[in-house]
Chain A
């Protein structure tokens, strides 16, 4: 989990790396993980459960890919891992 960043930062990048990111809308949050704790690269890593899943909030979730990222988000919402403050839009 990567939080908001208040400054531009120079980052070292390894060779042959691959990344997939889901950028959440403003107002989206994790009730169990205050986003304020993640600000400015205080990332929180989720341990791997199996080769295809990771642990988050005591449950194993399948890694998303570029095409099905919304499926994971929908499951996280259904499991109350992610919520949204409708007052923020």
Chain B
């Protein structure tokens, strides 16, 4: 168990976990708790790259293998993909060997083949821009209504730019 910061008692940590539990879809609550403890500790004790790595691990719920350069660039392994389900990184795709320098973003609700085709066509500059510092947590669900394809919600933790994929559906969106 990694040490927690003295100002972060167990109750606060559990509240943080519960607030994210639906997002991370944690299978092993104690494992995520450990990751969050490590994340909190590193936020105070380590520089940005290490803290970002810990946060990615906490959200994905799996160990990411840092590259030797330790510049905040992380390589995704097959194991990470299996553990993270439908998590995608930035506007990129989860592929073994992919290097990412940002936080994960859920891109569910868009058929994977279509998403892949759009992303592959996007200019490299846009893809790189989309990978820079944006953090959106996305959640969605199917619907049994004959009128509704899916219901989704998301929130951003910081400002940035993302790639909105093409879609043949229209939507009603509420924001605040």
Question: Contact between B159 and A21 (Cβ–Cβ < 8 Å)?
Answer: no
B148-176 vs A: 1/0 string, CB under 8 Å? 11111111111111111111111111111
On whether A4 and B167 interact (CB within 8 A), knowing A13-B160, A18-B175, A18-B176, the answer reads: yes
Asked if B143 is at the interface of the complex by the 8 Å CB criterion, the answer is yes
A6-37 vs B: 1/0 string, CB under 8 Å? 11111111111111111111101100000100
A18 to B154, CA, bound (A): 6
Asked if B145 is at the interface of the complex by the 8 Å CB criterion, the answer is yes
On whether A38 and B170 interact (CB within 8 A), knowing A15-B157, A23-B148, A66-B153, the answer reads: yes
- Say which residue of B153, B156, B161, B170 sits within 8 Å of A24 (CB atoms): B170
In chain B between 66 and 90, which residues have their CB closer than 8 angstroms to a CB of chain A?
Answer: none
Question: Contact between B149 and A15 (Cβ–Cβ < 8 Å)?
Answer: no
A20 to B166, CA, bound (A): 18
Q: Chain A, interface size: which category?
A: 35 or more
Report chain B residues within 8 Å CB of A28: 147, 170
Question: Contact between A9 and B149 (Cβ–Cβ < 8 Å)?
Answer: no
Question: Contact between B151 and A22 (Cβ–Cβ < 8 Å)?
Answer: yes
Nearest CB on A from B152, distance (A): 5
A22 to B152, CA, bound (A): 7
- Say which residue of A2, A20, A73, A77 sits within 8 Å of B170 (CB atoms): A2
Asked if A69 is at the interface of the complex by the 8 Å CB criterion, the answer is yes
On whether A15 and B158 interact (CB within 8 A), knowing A8-B122, A8-B165, A73-B147, the answer reads: yes
Nearest CB on B from A26, distance (A): 7
Residues of B within 8 A of A (CB): 109, 118-119, 121-122, 126, 129-130, 134, 136, 139, 141, 143-176
Question: Contact between B155 and A24 (Cβ–Cβ < 8 Å)?
Answer: no
Nearest CB on B from A67, distance (A): 9
Nearest CB on B from A45, distance (A): 10
On whether A23 and B151 interact (CB within 8 A), knowing A8-B121, A13-B156, A63-B174, the answer reads: yes
Nearest CB on A from B173, distance (A): 5
Question: Contact between B148 and A69 (Cβ–Cβ < 8 Å)?
Answer: yes
A26 to B149, CA, bound (A): 8
A28-67 vs B: 1/0 string, CB under 8 Å? 1100000100100001000000000010000000011010
Interface centre among B134, B136, B144, B154 (most CB of A within 10 A): B154
